[in-house]
Chains A and B, each alone.
Chain A
């Protein structure tokens, strides 16, 4: 390999590393005993170690936590089920793919689909018996689930809708190419889930990753200013397109962002990435790979809570990183170029793209696609997919853009949106339209409190305040997470509620709408009455005292309600 020189942390004997490292090494490139686990009819689960390996293939073993205790008493194992996440670089799929995934949701996944905060689809409630058939169904649609979780490069995300402009298309294409380049090469997925034998097992099946893959996940995001819908600073590696006269001149590179933390453990914190320079389009693939390889070699493999790239950058500094990157590439980055972000929100509704075609961004509350009385999102989008001739572009704010609609086709799409009751509700507050929540209970093993099932009703109550204060049309971002790991990027929300225990949340305030400032802890471990009281006071005060155009997050910092949280290391101090 290309590494020489300094003694790497990797050289710590594997026996002293986290047990997951041995597990990966001994798994024969992620095969483990998955084959036996999947056919064992006595349990709906796979073994604990196989459960870690399936993550590399976007498959999470979960169980219905609300039934756990009842079933334990009944001497039944937990109601195990699998969550399956599709790899969808850039978040783009065709209408045919949409229909295929929708059919799989009906057949195996409890008739519901979820759009994630990383621009892809997620299925829930899949039983072990049906898991292989489900994965094969996804594959038959020209998609897969490889590296949708696990210690590898995750789904590469980018500013939504490739059809908005040629620059957007180029960035979307680049996201796809990065995803391909950093895709694990193991034949385990084909063998175990698709039933295609790989023949003999090569020793160097993973020339880039090696047998122990990465210390933890690695996340890459690409933004096209002035939109920062993807929260580019929230990821391990970010590329911000520099668009000059409609053409992409290159990318500003930033490293070391990430959301996750553990409550009250001050050594863990969300961190925004730092700008380290500029590169041309042709250098992006190499920089992505080399950055990932630096983390592969220097990331902490002993303490998984400290294993993310953001801590490697925090501990060693960006100067070290730039030097190491330059050493590996044989040349340094160019000086960074300026860029301006205006918002991290999506723009719901109709807009016209550079080529004259139309795009409709449909607000999906918490990304949940299902058929509810009066709002048949699943059926409605199925009907649209049946006639649509463009693409579907998923956003990292859990919405979907029906993209590339000609003037001629627009009335038909509009009619379908209306007849299925799914068109954006013009009466919905801007607060609701800027809300996000993770899945949390009952399936997520990490959740300490409700999120997706609770946030809509909390917003019903907050809406009373917001409408009353005249803030119905003022976009204020609110994000709820069932645990501090931060899937819905809560630490970049103007209002964040992070679960501590059933019904109890930490309240954070003060992030910027541009995605370049974290929020700060305002109240700890509070329940709904206090949440409503505290936010009621602040929102009314904001309505009266805000400066023209001043977002809520900026207001709370300017008026010293919370301090400006500039560095992650201060987040839990």
Chain B
């Protein structure tokens, strides 16, 4: 069914009637998620294709636009003193005189997408010092040497170096960059030019020489028709599952918490290249778990069980050690498991303990399976019987912290590495430690997509959203914000974030600041529990800003909560009720009704774990 709104839109669409008909019938056959994906794909392809988008004619064939193809020149500069920026501006202005558009970009701000979108790249760097990349050039330096960039064949480039010959390794950084771009397949259109301190004249000459080179039309075949975009159209989704996971390359494994933090939180970027996985903001990635061999061996050592004994798992026979590695939870013990175990080993002591739920809970606090086995060895059990008692090893779901429209073939995760001591033993969370141990560029993680239809952005991008995400609960909101920025629509975004300390635990701080500067993040309020004598949490900040929160809700804002399912979730829920009461002049019952209605209308969504 086509709504009136859609009809109106089509009358202004830049297609002839026949093309409109074809497109509309095609779109009519798509479900909501396919439509969403397609819109993202088209938005993304506009970035990749730049101004050189092939157009759809009435017969439906893709044709080259009749007018001369435009192409993009990107001028990257990096310096402390502003010298390279001045040269970059000169080039920019001279290109403009020739009606050639170019993008001026500080190296600090250069991302993968810029290199992908550019066709002609001019790099102007000034350095001093002994061969170390200057501070502002470091991010680019790291990017071109990281696994995130594999090929740059679509790119033509040249490099200008402004150095100071009183340094031994003058222009070392530029030489490295020049060589690296070539190694990545980019085409050098002029040899590296090195200037000394008196750079003004040589730099001007260089600009004049470079002008016709970057101003020339790119040759045939340089239009970036990446295999990635082609393959994307081939299939909409492929069902990867826990049993049939996709092995995603690790592109980045970066600690987010500062050196003085009590926690180790990682930002992990996975490559989805070749997977055909298409996700939406709110979705999660499931990571197939695997126990650490040391933990399995410690358990086997303590138990005297035969590691090589056959065990049946899912209609397959494997040895016990393999089963413990891949299939069974050997971590914390829950009461039913203890009860089963007590019965199986016929331990009077354990059986007695299991009669009192309270004593059992106290006993189990901080104990893992290895501790129970050590204290009460499974002497009566063979491997198969023992394995039958165990719980399956559950996969771990992580909210995706990126928007596919922005991150294209990547998925980002925010992973808190679980580590603690109990009974003088270091305990480690299975999946978080597995992920934390994976090196960028070499390792892969077995993953699959987990749809989370209950956690979705408003359909109308103009709708304001309030997002409450303390700790790693902030992950999906990083995706939300990126999505809303790229979609546009101007909906306001308000984030509440909390953690332990401002200085070391402010996850993605610099990104939030940038987003606020760009105006995408309308408001951000933060609560750091350990920065002052009184503990302050996100729910306190919500209450402090109750009047404004209520005003946003009255304007139709959606309210999202993600994070710890324990106290935080109920405290935030209570704060929301209080806000409805205090600022909406509602009774207790009315407030409950209001919040319940919000949930029913899907204006209040939670993703708690």
**Which residues of A come within 8 Å of B, CB atoms?**
41-44, 67-77, 79, 127, 129, 264, 448, 500-504, 524-525
Contact = CB atoms under 8 A, between A and B. Distances in A.
B504 to A, nearest CB: 8
8 contacts: A72-B138, A77-B510, A127-B503, A448-B129, A501-B129, A503-B130, A504-B130, A525-B167
Contacts of B254: 73-75
Interface stretch (B67-75, B88-96, B256-264): B256-264
B139 interface: yes
Contact of B128 (A69, A74, A77, A500): A500
A129 B256 CA distance: 22
Nearest to A74: B256
Interface in B505-546: 506-513, 516, 524-526, 531
A419 B262 CA distance: 39
A502 B503 contact: no
B259 A67 contact: yes
B58 interface: no
Contacts of B258: 67, 71, 74, 76, 79
Nearest to A45: B513
B367 interface: no
Contacts of A75: 254, 256, 267, 507-511
B139 A501 contact: no
B166 interface: yes
A76 B531 CA distance: 17
A77 B138 contact: no
A129 B528 CA distance: 13
Contact of A42 (B130, B257, B524): B524
A497 to B, nearest CB: 15
A69 B255 CA distance: 13
B135 interface: yes
Contact of A76 (B132, B197, B510, B516): B510
Given A501-B129, A504-B130, A77 B135 contact: no
A239 to B, nearest CB: 36
Interface hub of A68, A73, A127, A264 (most chain B Cβ within 10 A): A73
Interface of B: 128-130, 132, 135, 138-139, 142, 164, 166-167, 197, 254-259, 267, 502-504, 506-513, 516, 524-526, 531
Interface hub of A42, A68, A69, A525 (most chain B Cβ within 10 A): A42
A525 B166 contact: yes
Contact of A77 (B142, B255, B259, B513): B513
Contacts of B256: 74-76
Contacts of B128: 448, 500-501
Q: Which 8 A-B pairs have the closest CB atoms?
A: A501-B129, A525-B166, A75-B510, A75-B508, A264-B197, A76-B509, A77-B510, A74-B256
Contacts of A448: 128-129
Nearest to B142: A73
Contact of B130 (A74, A502, A524): A502
A129 B526 CA distance: 14
Contact of A44 (B132, B138, B503): B503
Contacts of B259: 67, 70
Given A42-B526, A73-B254, A74-B257, A500 B166 contact: yes
Given A42-B513, A76-B509, A500-B167, 15 more contacts: A42-B516, A42-B524, A42-B526, A67-B258, A67-B259, A69-B135, A72-B510, A74-B256, A75-B507, A77-B513, A79-B503, A129-B502, A264-B166, A501-B167, A502-B132
Contact of A524 (B129, B166, B255, B511): B166
A43 B506 CA distance: 10
B206 to A, nearest CB: 20
Contacts of A67: 258-259
Contacts of A42: 509, 512-513, 516, 524, 526
B381 to A, nearest CB: 47
Nearest to B497: A42
A68 B510 contact: no
Nearest to B495: A42
A542 B158 CA distance: 53
B319 to A, nearest CB: 42
A43 B524 CA distance: 11
Nearest to B504: A76
Interface hub of A42, A74, A79, A525 (most chain B Cβ within 10 A): A74
A480 B508 CA distance: 39
A72 B167 contact: no
Nearest to B258: A76
A77 B513 CA distance: 9
A72 B508 contact: no
Contact of A72 (B139, B197, B267, B503): B139
B129 A502 contact: yes
A501 B132 CA distance: 10
A526 B209 CA distance: 36
A76 B511 CA distance: 8
Contacts of A74: 254-258
A129 B531 CA distance: 10
B472 to A, nearest CB: 14
Given A44-B502, A70-B259, A502-B130, A264 B164 contact: yes
A504 B169 CA distance: 13
B500 to A, nearest CB: 14
A502 B129 CA distance: 7
B513 A43 contact: yes
B190 to A, nearest CB: 27
A306 to B, nearest CB: 16
Given A42-B516, A524-B166, A525-B167, A76 B129 contact: no
Contacts of A77: 509-510, 513
A41 to B, nearest CB: 5
A75 B257 CA distance: 9
A133 to B, nearest CB: 12
Nearest to A76: B509
Nearest to B524: A42
A264 B198 CA distance: 9
A67 B504 CA distance: 12
Contacts of A76: 256, 258, 504, 506, 509-510
Contact of A68 (B132, B135, B516, B524): B135
Contacts of B197: 264
A501 B254 CA distance: 29
Contacts of B130: 501-504
A269 to B, nearest CB: 16
A361 to B, nearest CB: 39
A72 B142 CA distance: 12
A73 B139 CA distance: 8
B531 to A, nearest CB: 7
A524 B164 CA distance: 12
Contacts of A44: 502-503
Interface hub of B130, B139, B504 (most chain A Cβ within 10 A): B130
A70 B512 CA distance: 18
A529 to B, nearest CB: 13
A530 to B, nearest CB: 12
Contacts of B142: 73
Contacts of A504: 130, 167
A71 B505 CA distance: 11
Nearest to A68: B135
A502 B138 CA distance: 17
A504 B526 CA distance: 43
A42 B510 CA distance: 9
A45 to B, nearest CB: 9
A448 B254 CA distance: 28
A110 to B, nearest CB: 13
Contacts of B257: 74
A264 B254 CA distance: 40
Contacts of A127: 503
B334 to A, nearest CB: 36
B536 to A, nearest CB: 10
A507 to B, nearest CB: 13
A491 B563 CA distance: 59
A74 B264 CA distance: 11
